Structure 1
């Protein structure tokens, strides 16, 4: 029967139809032994993943041979040439014949030797694997040999240097030690070879690996260079100490901040020593040089544990440099767990890591007083003032305070008026120029006779300017901060950082608060440099509270109610208000049904709300506490019913990330200062049609309330207005300086530049 083009041989595969079913019956396939070359090439792909892995194996063999000098030569990232030369004990001529056969080694003789292994290599697979994927040549000389011997290997066997010659090793001139040349790495594995697109990246990995062993192997000289370059990429002398090696490889910035540590514990059978940076040094990525029983390995557990230690002393996203040499009883270590020996397993891992981290933490605490900060002594343009507030004087007083000027001293640079900015927040503000409410309501009383009746009485200060903070008592609890390991919260924090507007953030960080401009539209004025901005402080407070919620997630304080509040009653208040303002009949709902549905959701999730948000609800539906985001500021309690009601339909309870994001945004909206009605007109009563008389202008306002100046409603509004204005000036905007990351959305809709001092000077110059 003719064979179709799509048919393949039965032993290696079957023709399949479009639906994936074989065309022929599923007969069992025969099991055959793979060809040894296939087996060896598969093993080579597991052990030699990249040129740096071949270098690591060869460099470890050189150190095992007792070398005091290791030289590395690289061409095209090690893919074209990788040459390692050492001055170790060398290899005997008789052993060259089986040098590149699998599982030939001088390190162990039985499996039990693995429990006391003290060398880098032990399996005898490195040279065998390299010979199956590259052209390998070895030149070696022992101390008792008169000549050096050179041999060439391919697929684990001796091969002649040129066709027609004998494969036996050839005598040649050479020095004591061994030189191994690896050429055309992965020449017979084209897929692996094409994966290395940038030889420079592979060379950087090689430099990093050589540098790690150069730091650890004290007494051994290391050098690494590119083929054809006159200089070396790395050169370490054999006499260099560990600190000097770190300085040459990682720079003086690291070495100047190093602290040495050493600890041991017989119970767990380990001894650890090394160097770590103090709190003055931090970078974006952790540098961990980890050696376990002198083997360069990687450990995610150790790295994360050390980063948690430094998280308490370094700035956000700051990372340390740590060199850790960990020696463990070989009987407790399993070295045969990874093909490239990149990882090891050992007993009592958690206890050993905890002991090392506690020791590093104590060392950091001892030197914490040496932290260095860059500061500026005097702000530019400021004048010296004495304790009485007088400016720098002249004459004898000034002569007593200042030494005689040096004739060689430089003259003070001229200050342009259009560059002067206000830097002292205690100076007179724009709000002090506004007329007081009392002065605008009635004429000033006449001065008593005989007491200077011809003088104009001094204007009284606005009562809003003298508003004091709320009288709130706080209780401190002994609860350790809970580190947040939730991926969803980390992603939300990253989204805020990605949306940051750097110029606006810097403007907030160095701004000067001018005053509240419009309470109805929640506008405030700030000065940034020589510019004046109008800020929607409602929008800014929302962004700030949302970011505080992400930063302090799981560690909120609590505002407790005594007695507790009825959750369903609060929800009913909010639902009734929502029902009253519904304009479309299609949006109508049953108040009791909505209240019960939202209450059931909150009671069902009360454990999660308490753990993450400090929102405590009893199983019977009593509200015990709500989150405390900002100390010194009480959120508007009149917004509490609406906040609780919105937690039902506006929070996505089905997805973790969306749940946390929507909840924190609702919490931020709750904390934003409410919009208050304007002050009572001079007539004393709210006029019909005015903002005070409009229903719903302020949440909590009821019908028929007395809005006269002596009425309780006015007194409550006046008190709340004082507290809000004080919180805006003394709590929120100072907090914006240190913690607010201004986003691009805030730049678009929350801030407006209204004046530029330099621009105003140009206008005045034309007048």
Structure 2
């Protein structure tokens, strides 16, 4: 195509017969080369931000603040609290291929950082106005410099281009203004600022989920509210809840795969069969670098296909750590893709693990179905409001009732009904043995209490504060919520110390011995130095109690001699008597000078521990308490005291061996002890657990989910 004056249009391919002579090859101008390179790396504002985030995390930052204006085209600013940049390095900071992360090409085989080629800041400086303000820990002030075309430039005409001293906090602040100002075709390609900001928020959210220990905040310029705010202390699950939503975070299962043959470890969180999105959300990190992988995404989608409704897509957060020698990171200008060995085998192992986790859907599975009787009226049988996503579309048969449903109250269906009153009928009421002790339950333990006007002692011991802090740090949030909102169901097995409790629509079996041990330990830390006193009417001889405990222990060890146990009793007796003043002051355990035990610590009103355990408790104070270290002494003594307060295991209730044989009558007071145990567990211990127990991770071993009401109402969508 030609113009009327036969001049070829720019950009039109010339025909062979129009070429008069071969064109000479010449080197491109350096500015053109740099702009071409910048166009490969910085395709959009989100790519510039990705490079800046990676540099900030590489610098050891624990807090990143991001400010965006007009989708990043007008302003893109990131502030971190990392190690900063040395003033002498600012001169070559924005030159191409200047980096602190590589020295030789062989270093690529062991690269452990996000960036490594030294092109990010150089590329940005060629297509935007770049300002860097930085301060290192050993610098007395911050240094500020402007860059253009990879070189230092003056802020105003006539001024020096050298970095200028200024006030600033430790770390680095990089400000990118007027991105693509000299590439008008690229700038015109962006449709809207809001679309670019959504891409930026998505990228920030990805790193906010993955980079544990790093706080992220992202906001639009001029707005008071923050679009994304993730604290440094948040866990990965909590970060997903903040960045995405609770409906995803509540339906996640853990994935962990390790294989030495292929040199990789994969861990993450993926949605279970209850969650179904419109499109796949894949947060994939390989060696902590955010990447994309079509093969991994397609394989995981195929894994989920049998478990989700038609068109349903999963949420996946996956972090792969692969031996750097097996990974080629230098295959894409923006590091968006990487290649690694044994890709198919690694993907198959990951999918197998996800498939195994999804196969355990019987514990919790919900489906949405269309109501068959849309016009029927069902009376409201509870005033508890149920969330809309739990009631919408459930299938239920209306029942007759004289009272109509109250308007404005959400209707709970059978698969969402929960017991909210511990006094209502329970599962144990249907068991035959429940009637044998239900009439004997008393309201208290029969102990008379006296109250004093003694002022509480404020504990200022650092060791006790450290022990309290250790409990808080070991707290398991989900398990603590279960105990804080549970409804007691009943004791299942007194011998194994197992009880049932209900939390929402889930039923759990818990080891109440383990739970009580942790609770009384925490109670000992909380009330340290302020225990109540359990005073004996007649004082007990410490040595005699220790001898009883030794005889009980000797019965379990037939090969031991009497002389050996006599020496142990003497040693423990002397150990306890030498520290009787400390025991009385801190633990309310009083001993007379003659070796008589007068009081024991009272941890809880309405509950008395089994005194049959007293000899063994006192005997264990010798070898099982670290008397030489203050912190160790307090911790080990409170652990032993908590063990003493744990309810004793009881033998199973006598039952008839034949149908026509009567139940054996117990003459040893076992029925009375069982009645007292049930009273204490239901009316004292579990209400106390509900009020103040901090469930630690160790209690996960003693808590098992055995039923989920929603799982019992499954509707199979495939025939």
Q: Is the 8 A contact 1:135 1:182 kept in 2?
A: yes
SS in 1 for 2:239: helix
Check if 1:118 corresponds to 2:112.
yes
Q: 2:189 aligns with which of 181, 192, 195?
A: 195
Shift in alpha-carbon separation, 1:23–1:281, aligned structure 2, 3 A: closer
1:230 aligned partner: 224
1:357 aligned partner: 351
1:211 aligned partner: 205
Structure 2 matches for 1:132-171, cutoff 5 A?
132-171=126-165
Check if 1:289 corresponds to 2:283.
yes
Q: Is the 8 A contact 1:14 1:22 kept in 2?
A: no
2:167 aligned partner: 173
Whole-angstrom CA distance in 2 between matches of 1:86 and 1:28: 54
2:577 aligned partner: none
Structure 2 matches for 1:14-93, cutoff 5 A?
20-23=15-18, 25=20, 27-93=21-87
Q: Is the 8 A contact 1:258 1:277 kept in 2?
A: yes
Structure 2 matches for 1:225-624, cutoff 5 A?
225-374=219-368, 379=373, 409-410=403-404
Whole-angstrom CA distance in 1 between matches of 2:332 and 2:36: 15
Whole-angstrom CA distance in 2 between matches of 1:383 and 1:79: 57
Deviation at 1:5, TM superposition (A): 5.8
2:592 aligned partner: none
Whole-angstrom CA distance in 1 between matches of 2:377 and 2:400: 18
2:124 aligned partner: 130
Deviation at 1:367, TM superposition (A): 2.9
Query: Alpha-carbon deviations, 1:238-270, whole Å to 9, x = none?
Result: 011111000011101101111011011111110
Deviation at 1:373, TM superposition (A): 3.1
Whole-angstrom CA distance in 2 between matches of 1:739 and 1:376: 15
Query: Alpha-carbon deviations, 1:744-763, whole Å to 9, x = none?
Result: xxxxxxxxxxxxxxxxxxxx
Query: Alpha-carbon deviations, 1:696-715, whole Å to 9, x = none?
Result: xxxxxxxxxxxxxxxxxxxx
Whole-angstrom CA distance in 2 between matches of 1:35 and 1:117: 32
Aligned residues: 389
Shift in alpha-carbon separation, 1:120–1:15, aligned structure 2, 3 A: closer
Deviation at 1:21, TM superposition (A): 4.3
Whole-angstrom CA distance in 1 between matches of 2:189 and 2:8: 30
Shift in alpha-carbon separation, 1:329–1:15, aligned structure 2, 3 A: closer
Whole-angstrom CA distance in 2 between matches of 1:285 and 1:376: 23
Q: Is the 8 A contact 1:279 1:368 kept in 2?
A: no
Shift in alpha-carbon separation, 1:15–1:210, aligned structure 2, 3 A: closer
Deviation at 1:412, TM superposition (A): 10
SS in 2 for 1:290: strand
Whole-angstrom CA distance in 2 between matches of 1:129 and 1:377: 59
Larger radius of gyration: 1
Shift in alpha-carbon separation, 1:267–1:164, aligned structure 2, 3 A: same
Deviation at 1:370, TM superposition (A): 1.8
Whole-angstrom CA distance in 2 between matches of 1:13 and 1:201: 31
SS in 1 for 2:84: coil
Shift in alpha-carbon separation, 1:383–1:65, aligned structure 2, 3 A: closer
SS in 2 for 1:363: helix
1:682 aligned partner: none
Shift in alpha-carbon separation, 1:289–1:160, aligned structure 2, 3 A: same
Whole-angstrom CA distance in 2 between matches of 1:56 and 1:13: 34
Whole-angstrom CA distance in 1 between matches of 2:376 and 2:65: 60
SS in 2 for 1:248: helix
SS in 2 for 1:268: coil
Deviation at 1:377, TM superposition (A): 9.2
Whole-angstrom CA distance in 2 between matches of 1:272 and 1:739: 32
Unaligned runs of 5+ in 2: 379-398, 408-716
Deviation at 1:375, TM superposition (A): 6.4
Runs of 4+ that moved beyond 6 A: 12-15, 375-378, 380-384, 403-406
Query: Alpha-carbon deviations, 1:650-681, whole Å to 9, x = none?
Result: xxxxxxxxxxxxxxxxxxxxxxxxxxxxxxxx
Whole-angstrom CA distance in 1 between matches of 2:233 and 2:204: 17
Shift in alpha-carbon separation, 1:327–1:161, aligned structure 2, 3 A: same
Query: Alpha-carbon deviations, 1:421-468, whole Å to 9, x = none?
Result: xxxxxxxxxxxxxxxxxxxxxxxxxxxxxxxxxxxxxxxxxxxxxxxx
Unaligned runs of 5+ in 1: 385-402, 414-737, 741-767
Whole-angstrom CA distance in 2 between matches of 1:85 and 1:169: 18
2:499 aligned partner: none
Q: Is the 8 A contact 1:6 1:15 kept in 2?
A: no
Shift in alpha-carbon separation, 1:21–1:147, aligned structure 2, 3 A: same
